[in-house]
Structures are given as C-alpha cells and as structure tokens.
Amino acid sequence: MMIPTFFGITLLTFAIGHLAPGDPLLIETDSPLPGSASQETIDRFRQAHGLDLPLYVQYGRWLSKVVRLDFGHSTQDHRPVTEKIAESLPKTLLLSTLALFFAYLVAVPIGVYSAVRKGWLERAVTVALFALYSMPSFWVAVMLLLAFSSGRALDWFPLQGLTSEGFAAMGLAAKLSDLAWHLVLPVFCLSYASLASVSRYMRTGMLEVIRQDYIRTARAKGLSERTVVFRHAFRNSIIPVVTLLGLMLPHLVGGSVIVERIFGIQGMGLLAFDAIFHRDYPMVMGVTTLVALFTMASVLLSDVLYAVVDPRIRVEVAS
C-alpha cells in the first residue's frame, strides 16, 4: 500500500509544480539590463536541467535518481538538495518534537481534568483553550517577542535564532541552557494551538469512557475515584489521542513558515516556502518526498501504537 501511495504523492507534486506557470530564473529584479535573464539563458538553463523534456520523462529521470538517493541540486543556489535539507531538518525536528512533547504533556492532564471535574474552573479552562486555539501564530509570536524580548516590557528571551554568538565554544551545559533559552518562545508558539485541540480530544475520549458500564462496576467495587480515573478510564480514553499523534507527526518535518520566519530559524518550513516561491523544483520535490515518507511512516506508527494501547486491535501481518 505504501509504495503506490508514495508514487501518487510524488507524481502529483511533480505535475502540479511543473505545470504552474513561472520559471526558476524569473526572479524579481529592477535592472532593465536585461531583466532577470534573457530568453536565451532561460532556454539554456531549462535544457541543462532537463526542463524542456516531456513531464513523464522528467519524472522518470527524477525517480531513477531518487532511488539512488540523488535529489539533485537546488536551482536557487545550486547546493545539493540533501545538504540543504540536512541543514534545516535538525532545527525543525528539535523545535517540533519539543513542541509536540510539551503540548501532550500539558494537554493530557487538562483533558482528563476537564472531563472528570465540572464547575466554573472547567468552563474557564474551556474558554481559555478556545481563545488560545483561535489566536493566529504570527500575532502571538510578535506579541511574545514584544512582551518578553524587546526590552520594552521584559527582557527574558532572545529575539532571534537558536543559539547565541560564540555557541561553538561553549561547554555542554552552557550549550544546552543557551539552546533551551532560545527555544522557549518558538516552542510555545508551535505548541499552544495543538495543546488546545489535543486537550479537547482527550476530554471527549475520557467522557465517552467514563460513561461505560465497567467504570460503573469499578466504582461499585469501591475503588477510589483516583484509581477509577487513572487505572481504568485513562488507558481506554487515550486511544483517539494516540491516533492524533500519528496525524501530527508529519508536521514534525514540515516545519512552520511563520514561526521560523519571525524567530529567524532556518528550518524546513522556510526552506519549502522559498523553494516554491522560486520554482525550485528539485528542492520542492526533496521536501515533499521527505514529508511523504514521514507521513506514511507515522500512519504505520499510529497503527502499531493502536495495537499497543488497545489489545483488541491486532496488526495482521498479512496486510
């Protein structure tokens, strides 16, 4: 199942990318001499990169290189696609893994709490989460910088990047703390929205389970509420949240254009955005392939996780 999916994704991206009007060499320039590139140069460039061939031939060529792990060179700066991805991927992975981790760390308890407790605090949490979920990240990011980094109000966190000047020369502890110091705001920006949604999923899952007969039985046995909730209900209610985790994993490598741009972090989001904007076909395909592989891996992973958290579901080897 995965191999045809992979072909489908890459073929579609390839076709859409190449059929969109524009050309890698048509970049904005305000010099009248001779615009960004003469037609002769564009033709020569297209020829050199095989862009003048029929699409299916181009796709075939691309595919035959990819199986040999050759993703080609970026048309923007002519560096190998793999080198550029290798430069951006760790930053994005670091950011989004932490963001996901913190989102779950906070969201799961909130979800459980708001399912089992009723009252004004629960309603307040609901409203607060919805408010958080509705706030656009570009605005939140700029506001956070103004509040915590500009020195106008507080001066706690750095404005830009992941590391300080002289990072390479620091000891391990200093490096870690420097990194953590830089990560606080961007990680928050990346995690608050999923925090809100995950906690709602958790709450729904919990509510469904808590109405079940076996919970009533557990209570009737005289078990403490604590044991009932955490021992019996929680395990069963976590299933939808685990599925959600599978769906969120692709974002780990996709990155975020907005957060990366505002915090000045050269990650996968910006890489993909610039590539599309510049019609950098090899780069676009490189990022797409990576994300596609990751998506498929995460679908597989969530299936496996299902089996782990829910013994009723079994992975059939035959499929």
Partner 1 sequence: MRAAIAACGALLVLAACKKEKKPAPPAPAAVVPAETWKRGELPLEVQLGAPVNGGAFTVRIWSEPAGLNRLHDQMAEGWMIKYLTGNVYEALAELDRDTHPAYELRPLLAEGWTESPDHKVLTVRLRKGVKFHNGEPFTSKDVKAVLEAVLDLQNLTTNLRSYFTDLESYEAPDDYTFVVRWKKPYFLANRNFLTSMAVMPASALEGDFNTLPVNRSPIGTGPFRFVSWETGKAITFDRNDSYWGKRPHLDRLVVRIVKDHTVATQLWERGEFDLMTLIQPAVWKSIESGDAKNAWAVEGYHRIYFLENIYFWIGWNEERPFFKDRRVREALARLYPTESVRDNIDLGLELPTTCPYYRESDSCDSTVERLPYDRAGAKRLLAEAGWKDTNGDGVLDKEGVPFKFTFLNNPYSVRMGKLVPLLQEEFRKVGIEMDIEKAETPVYIARMRAHDFDAASMGWSSLDPQQDNFQIFHSSQSKGGSNYVSYAEPEVDRLLEEIRVEFDRKKRNALERRLHRRLYEDQVYLFMTNRPYLDAVKKHVRGIKPSLAWYDLRKTWIQPSK
* Nearest to partner 1 of 6, 102 (CB atom): 102
The span from the CA of 101 to the CA of 98, in Å, is 5
**Of positions 142, 170, 223, 309, contacts partner 1 by CB under 8 A:** 142
- Dihedral sign computed on CA atoms, order 10, 137, 96, 123: negative
How many other β-carbons are positioned within 10 Å of the β-carbon of residue 183? 19
Q: Contact between 22 and partner 1 (CB under 8 A)?
A: yes
**DSSP notation for 16-31:** HHHHSS--TT------
What string marks each residue from 172 to 191 as x (binds partner 1 by CB under 8 A) or -?
-x--xxx-xx-xx-------
- Taking the complex as a whole, the smallest distance from the CB of residue 153 to partner 1 amounts, in Å, to 11
Backbone angles phi, psi at 130, to 5 degrees: -65, -40
**Of positions 68, 78, 226, 312, contacts partner 1 by CB under 8 A:** 78
* Nearest to partner 1 of 98, 290 (CB atom): 98
**Of positions 3, 4, 28, 54, contacts partner 1 by CB under 8 A:** 28
* Nearest to partner 1 of 29, 64 (CB atom): 29
**DSSP notation for 89-102:** HHHHHHHHHHHHHH
Q: What is the largest CA-CA distance in the chain?
A: 86
* Nearest to partner 1 of 188, 201 (CB atom): 188
**Of positions 11, 17, 18, 45, contacts partner 1 by CB under 8 A:** 45
- Taking the complex as a whole, the smallest distance from the CB of residue 87 to partner 1 amounts, in Å, to 6
How many other β-carbons are positioned within 10 Å of the β-carbon of residue 214? 12
The span from the CA of 35 to the CA of 32, in Å, is 5
Is residue 73 within a helix (H) or strand (E), and if so which, with residue range?
Answer: none
* Nearest to partner 1 of 37, 215 (CB atom): 37
Q: Contact between 97 and partner 1 (CB under 8 A)?
A: no
Q: Say if residues 196 and 130 touch (Cβ distance below 8 Å).
A: yes
Contact residues toward partner 1 (CB under 8 A) are: 21-41, 44-45, 48, 73, 76-79, 87, 101-102, 105, 142, 145-146, 149-152, 154-157, 159-161, 173, 176-178, 180-181, 183-184, 261-266, 270, 277-279
